[in-house]
Amino acid sequence: MADFGTLCLLMALATAGWAMVASYNGWRIQSGELILSAERAVLATWGLVALAIVALEHLIFTDRFDLEYVASYSNRALPAMYKVAALWAGQSGSILFWVFILCTYSVIVVLLHRRRNRALMPVVVTTLSGVTVFFLLLLCFLARPFVGLSHAPPDGMGMNPQLQNPFMAIHPPCLYLGYVGLTVPFAFAIAALATGKTSDTWFRTTRRFTIVSWFVLGTGILLGGWWAYVELGWGGYWAWDPVENASFIPWLTTTAFLHSVMIEERKKMLRVWNMSLVIMSFLLSILGTFITRSGVISSVHSFTRSDIGPMFAGFLGLCVVVSVGLLLHRLPLLQSEHRLDSFVSRESTFLFNNLLLVGAAFAVLWGTLFPIISEAVRGVKITVGPPFFNEIFVPITFAIMTLSAICPIIAWRRATPHKLLEKIRIPFGAMVAATALMVAFGMRDLYALVSFALSAFVIATTVMEFYWGTRARRRATQERWLAAFWNLLDRNKRRYGGFVVHLGIVLIVIGVTGSSAFKKEASATLGRGEAFSVGRFELRLEEIVSRDTPNHEFLGARLAVLDGGHQVGTLLPGQNFYKAGQDPSSEVDIRSTLREDLYLIMTGFDPQQGRATLKAYINPLVNWIWIGGLVLILGSWFAMLPDLRERRRTAEARLRELQPHAI
Amino acid sequence: MRSDAVPGDRPRGLYARPGRRAAGIARVLAIGSVLALAPVPPAPAAETTPQERAEHALMCFCGCSDLTIRTCSCGTAARVKEDIARRLASGATVDQVIEAYVAQHGEQIRSAPTKQGFNLLAWVVPFAAILAAGGLIVALIRRWQARGAVEGAVVGAGGSASPLANLSSADRKMLERVEREFRRDL
């Protein structure tokens, strides 16, 4: 089976290479047969990579420890769910999974667009296949998943205990779907540049792919935060780890693109900028992978390091040269009619919004890479940790929130001061009222006050946008309130889906603010019957619990949770000791409410004295982060729903592009 | 009254000059956003005692995380916390405690770059880049606005409600030439 897997990968390399070459030559000499052959080769590549994955999973499930990958990332007692997840637990497996996702995207693009976008598709296929060839080269020669061992161990080393968590089984696929999805808009951008067809077809065609990538990348980041929160046992969810940053940076630039593309749609402006943002997002996703894989920057994500860093650096350099070269070559075609009617317009606020989002991405990238820069310039390696990022990122977030509150109420083209003041009155009043209320209730933390006040501003603006829109529709159509509200949303899915996403982001900001500014913690070493306090809670050790499972042994401490003398629940934090021999992993227990989380970790246990060392946190409002994530997902889904008006506009754009050929 | 006045606006008092008033509001909003960028003093309520400040300023070197001593819950962090408490109790300042650890483990143990010398770049460059790009955007908006105003004036003089669409190619070329000359004279 291992030889079969290797053969599949080698054949996939050949078919992907053929797809790249045939598609490019088909486009150059306008040969329909070559182009068709390339498209079929894309389908064949997908099939071969899928077979390689089936082969690797078969080897994992049948405990073939004569294979290095299986022996390193699986063991006999590993539950079935994690045997599936073992595919992306190691370096070569995760690259194989990456290629599979890329091939799946390629197949979807070919099936959906080979007839609709004949002009762009050959170069799109060339680009997608080119990226596929690079990853297949890694798999066939540098990070081979089907390498055998001379002596098979009786059992495998098992999966990293921290990865044995349901969220971790979903988090990497989401991130990969997001990262890899950014290749599709990049491929269309390159095709538009190469063919010179730089009108709006390329971004209208790929917008759905971009939103999907943005959405799954965001979901992946949130799931990663959740995983860190429930698994890593330090009471937090985001540590500005280089690998976390690597996923966050392209998400920020894609967010900028999703906003600025609206200006291109309406005003035919910012064409070079939008093209640059799509290229930048893809390059940053490759840079992120480079950071993840090369180990060039130290990170907690050290599961998958190897020496493929130079290959990634080379590929990144090639992509930069090709895309920037094409962009410069086509600059004359991308000249747009840059005209603004007024400084106070939606267009202007979008420009500043882009500045802040790309500025935020740059700030995070700068902080992530600064240790390397410092080492290169001064020869001194330094750490750029959470305090730096918090200090840099918080003011930028405040500025973005200010714009999020103002932008929706400023009209396109030109806002009159009368209208602007009329519209801003209520949201601004809500912000002032919220601030006064917080001060009256004794809140003095400056960060929290500003953050909550701006959150109130954005929420009020967004709610008022829904209200104003419904009221206007009701007046125009005489519909009932509910019908007017629903029809308003149904006919403007992107706009109102976007507003729901804004609400989700604000809820996340509220959760982050509450859990950062008002966090409380306490720790103690307790014997049976002893207690310690954190905030208003008292925690009393009831008993030490131990359990045995085929995969691990669990040792934990059961504690009664008392609030004002009354027991409100029990918590059972502990540690898992894996039989495959890895370090123990902490298993936190959380009492979760909308107001706060009581988060409990057992950091140590003394078997001689029967005493457990415990650490407790109170994380206020932390659940609003996950609720905000759900709202964000809901809004994104709504914005992605099929929109007839959008389809018509896309069809019209394609027709416009085809007209010169008809002549 | 300026040509960009909107029907229904009151032509006196607060809204006497809509364009200028709008630009004023825009500046206030832009300045507000920029002011929001000014770093707020980093004094979250959770890190106010000397012990907490020292824990916050040092990275844990347990090798299993990228967390500060304050947030890491491993045994190494617990030992460092006890050591910090001991040093502070014996009269050392927070800076002295941090320097002692830097002398022992190198610069890498600081959780953030110092705000002096080369390391100052880490703090300054992101904001400087954003402010410089912001200045560029303001300049671009003004330029594009001026271009729009010229076009609007020319089209407005022709009395056409729908600007360029109704122009003949000769008129369009003439307009473009006027616009080019105008830009050259700006």
Q: Tell me the average pLDDT of chain A.
A: 88
Question: Which residues in chain B have Cβ-Cβ distances shorter than 8 Å to A403?
Answer: 33
Does residue A190 share a domain with residue A158? no
Instruction: Find the CB nearest A366 among B6, B43, B125.
Output: B125
pLDDT of residue A467: 94
> Do A91 and A149 fall within a single domain?
yes
State how far the alpha carbon of A626 is from the alpha carbons of A166, A219, A638, B76, in Å: 16, 10, 18, 31
> Do residues A276 and A193 share a domain?
yes
The per-residue pLDDT for range B33-42, each reduced to its tens digit, is 555 554 444 4
Asked if residue A65 is part of any domain, the answer here is: yes
Q: What would the pLDDT profile of A205-245 be if each residue is shown by its tens digit?
A: 888 889 999 999 999 999 989 988 988 888 889 989 888 89
Does residue A325 sit in the same domain as residue A375?
A: yes
pLDDT in tens, B93-128: 999 999 999 999 989 899 999 999 999 999 999 999
- The distance from CA A137 to its chain's CA centroid, rounded to whole angstroms, is 26
Q: Give yes or no for A443 touching B (CB within 8 A).
A: no
- Domain coverage including residue A593: 520-620
Kindly state the average pLDDT of the residues A244-271: 89
CA distances from A503 to A396, A624, A632, B6 (A): 18, 11, 7, 32
Instruction: Report yes or no on A625 lying in a domain.
Output: no
Picking from A135, A164, A193, the residue at the C-terminal end of a domain is: A164
Contact B112 A519 (CB under 8 A): no
Residue A400 has what pLDDT? 94
Per residue in A151-163, pLDDT tens? 888 888 888 777 7
Q: Which of A393, A409, A425 is the last residue of a domain?
A: A409
User: Same domain, yes or no, for A239 and A382?
Assistant: yes
Total number of domains constituting chain A:
4
Q: Indicate whether A305 and A439 sit together in one domain.
A: no
CA distance B161 to A151: 83
Q: How would residue A70 be classed by pLDDT, with cut points 50, 70 and 90? A: very high
Residue A296 above 80 pLDDT? no
Residue A441 lies in a domain: yes
Q: Quick one: closest CA in A to B70, which residue?
A: A234
For B156-182, b/e burial (b = at least 16 CB within 10 A) is eeeeeeebeeebeeeeeeebeeebeeb
Of all residues in chain A, what percent carry a pLDDT higher than 70? Answer: 94
Listing DSSP states for chain B in one string gives --TTPPTT--SSGGGSSHHHHHHHHHHHHHHHHHHHHSPPP---TTS-SHHHHHHHHBB--SSS---BTTT--SHHHHHHHHHHHHHHHTT--HHHHHHHHHHHH-GGGBSS--SSGGGHHHHHHHHHHHHHHHHHHHHHHHHHHHHHHHHHHHHHHTT-SSTGGG--HHHHHHHHHHHHHHHHH-
At residue B45, the pLDDT reads 44
pLDDT for the residue B182: 53
Domain boundary among A164, A199, A227: A164
- Cβ separation A418–B112 shorter than 8 A: no
Give me the residue from A234, A392, A394 closest to B73, CB to CB: A234
Strand partners of residue A585: A576
Asked if B111 lies within 8 A of A344 by C-beta distance, the reply is: no
Residues of B in contact with A386 (CB under 8 A): 67-68, 71, 111
Contact A603 B78 (CB under 8 A): yes
The answer to whether position A214 is within a domain reads yes
A386 in B contact zone (CB under 8 Å): yes
Task: Looking at the structure, tell me whether residues A529 and A658 fall in a common domain.
Answer: no
Contact residues on chain B for A356, CB-CB shorter than 8 A: 33, 130
Is the per-residue pLDDT at B66 higher than 90?
Answer: no
Residue A502: band (very low, low, confident or very high) from pLDDT cuts 50, 70, 90: very high
Is residue A199 included in any domain, yes or no?
yes
- Return the pLDDT at B18: 46
Residue B162 confidence class, pLDDT cut points 50, 70, 90: very low
- pLDDT of the residue at A201: 78
Task: Answer yes or no: is pLDDT of A280 > 60.
Answer: yes
Contacts of A247 (CB under 8 A, 6+ apart): A175, A178, A179, A217, A220, A221, A224, A288
- Domain annotation covers residue A239: yes
Same domain, A602 and A647: no
Q: Are both A429 and A557 inside the same structural domain?
A: no
CB contact under 8 A, B15 and A342: no
Q: B66 and A450 in contact by Cβ < 8 A?
A: no
Closest-CA distance, B91 to chain A, in angstroms, reads 24
Query: In this predicted model, which residue has the larger pLDDT, B108 or A291?
Result: B108
- A314 is a domain residue: yes
Q: Are residues A530 and A561 in the same domain?
A: yes
Least confident of A206-210, A277-281, A621-625, A642-646: A642-646
Is B162 or B146 the better-scoring residue by pLDDT? B146
A376 in contact with B at a CB cutoff of 8 Å? Answer: no
Looking at the complex, report in whole angstroms how far the Cα of residue A348 sits from the nearest Cα belonging to chain B.
Answer: 7
Q: With an 8 Å Cβ cutoff, is A562 touching chain B? A: no
**Banded model confidence at residue A283, pLDDT cuts 50, 70, 90:** very high
CA distance A195 to A28: 10
Does residue A663 carry a pLDDT above 50? no
Question: What are the backbone angles phi and psi of residue A116, rounded to the nearest 5°?
Answer: -75, -35
Q: Is A608 a member of any domain? A: yes
Choose, out of A302, A412, A416, the residue to mutate when testing the contact with B (most B CBs < 10 Å).
A416
Distance from CA of A51 to the nearest CA of B (A): 36
Report which of residues A127 and B70 the model is more confident about: A127
> Which residues in chain B have Cβ-Cβ distances shorter than 8 Å to A390?
42
Q: Quickly state the pLDDT bin for A40 (edges 50, 70, 90).
A: very high
A150 shares its domain with A3: yes
List pLDDT tens digits, range A568-601.
999 999 988 877 666 677 889 999 999 999 999 9
* pLDDT reported for residue B32: 55
Q: What is the CATH number of the domain that holds A552?
A: 2.60.98
Q: Which residues contact A179 (CB under 8 A, 6 or more apart)?
A: A98, A213, A217, A247, A250, A285, A288, A289
Residues A84 and A158 in one domain: yes
CA distances from A511 to A300, A385, A514, A620 (A): 24, 21, 5, 8
Residues of A in contact with B40 (CB under 8 A): 394-395, 446-447, 450
pLDDT band at residue A538 using 50, 70 and 90 as cut-offs: very high
* Interface touch B130/A517, C-beta < 8 Å: no
Residue B2 has pLDDT above 60, yes or no: no
Share of chain A above pLDDT 90, in %: 54
